[in-house]
Amino acid sequence: MSALSEALGEQAAPITFSHGGEDYAVTPVTQLVKTKVERWLRGLAYADLYASRQDMPPEQYEHALALLARQRSMFAYLGPLYWDTVATDEGQVGLIAILFQTTPEKARKLREERAADVDALVSETTLASMPRAMAAEMRRRLAEARAGGKPGAGEHADPTPPA
């Protein structure tokens, strides 16, 4: 990608991914996309809590709700909850849906039918949207993980969001 295209980002040449007769516009991780990811993570956390409300006393549920409302930073893009979420199948589907700007159903189908391509595109889009130094460090860790060495990245062997 030229420096011009990179600097202009989505205003230059959006990446189009075609599958099953449909074109998907894969978005770079802009500030707006980051907020979409954070809203999605927040929604998942509230849904989890709501689903478990029957198993806890009302006051504990209220307390957990209040705690969730205060812990806004836990939903941050590339924060701990992000990595925990994208390490799951449903998390991967959710991330693909956001980056490919499509529905979860279509994202799931993409993941099932074009796993390697989608994985590569999600990783590359994520890395290309990061500041260079951080992306270079991520790539280094990814290479280490793929080489079979200890990645040194806690429980996340693969530092890039899998798809």
Rounded Cα distance between 42 and 72, Å, is: 8
Dist. CA 102–CA 109, nearest whole Å: 11
A 10 A CB-CB count for 120 gives: 13
Q: Which of residues 12-71 bind other proteins (CB under 8 A)?
A: 28-32, 35
Q: Which residue in the set 45, 65, 68, 76 belongs to the binding site for other proteins (CB under 8 A)?
A: 76
User: Do 4 and 12 meet the contact criterion of CB atoms below 8 Å apart?
Assistant: yes
Member of 78, 87, 101, 109 binding other proteins (CB under 8 A): 78
Tell me which residue has tokens 């279509």.
106
**Contact pick of 113, 134, 143, 146 for other proteins (by CB under 8 A):** 134
Q: Binding residue for other proteins (CB under 8 A) from 159, 161, 162, 163?
A: 159
CB of 56 to other proteins, least distance (A): 26
Token representation of residue 18: 């075609």
Can you say how many angstroms the Cα of residue 160 is from the centroid of all Cα atoms in its chain?
A: 9
Range 94-133, binding other proteins (CB under 8 A):
128-133
The contact set with other proteins (CB under 8 A) reads 3, 6-7, 9-11, 28-32, 35, 72-73, 76-80, 83, 128-139, 141, 152-156, 159
